[in-house]
Amino acid sequence: MSELTHLNEKGEAHMVDVGQKSESEREARAEAIVRMLPETLNMIIEGKHKKGDVFAVVRIAGIQAAKKCWDLIPLCHPLMLTSIKLNIVPNEAQSTVRIETVCRVGGKTGVEMEALTAASVAALTLYDMCKAVDKGMVIEQVRLLEKQGGKSGHWVAEG
C-alpha cells in the first residue's frame, strides 16, 4: 500500500501539490446499485411517477455532482472535466437500478472521486425521487470499477 499523500510529516491534512505532475488523459468508471420494490421500479420504467422522468433527474444530478466534487470532498482538486456520462440500467429480474458513471479529464490528477461522487449522488437522487412510495430502498454498493491514466496506470476492480 502506498503512503497517504493528504497528510504531511506532522500528520496534518493538506491538499497535495500536483504542480510538478505530468498531464495525462485520465478516466474513471464507478457504479452504484439501488434495490427497490418491483412496483417502484415498474412505476419508474413505465413513466408513471408523479415527479416525472426519474432517470432524467438522476442523470442530471450525477453530472452536476461530478462537476461539484471538489466543493464536496475536502482536499479534492477542482478539475476541468472533459466528459461525464451516466448509464442507468434497470434490472427488473433483480428489482435494481445500476448507475454507471464515466468521467474523463486531461489533467494532473485522477477523476476517481468525480466518478464515485456522480454515482453516489445519482443513487441518492433516485432514493429522494422515490422515497414517498418506497422508503425501504437500499443503496447496496458504490464502488470504483476502473481507472486509467496517470502514474499508477490502469486498474480494474475484481469481479
Q: Which residues are known to be catalytic? A: 128
CB atoms within 10 A of CB 146: 15
CA 125 to CA 89: how far, in whole Å? 15
* Helix runs in the chain, H state only: 38-45, 54-67, 69-72, 112-130
Contact, 89 vs 96, CB < 8 A? no
Give residue 127's identity as a one-letter amino acid code: Y
- Percent composition of the chain: helix, strand, coil (DSSP 3-state, to 5): 30, 30, 40
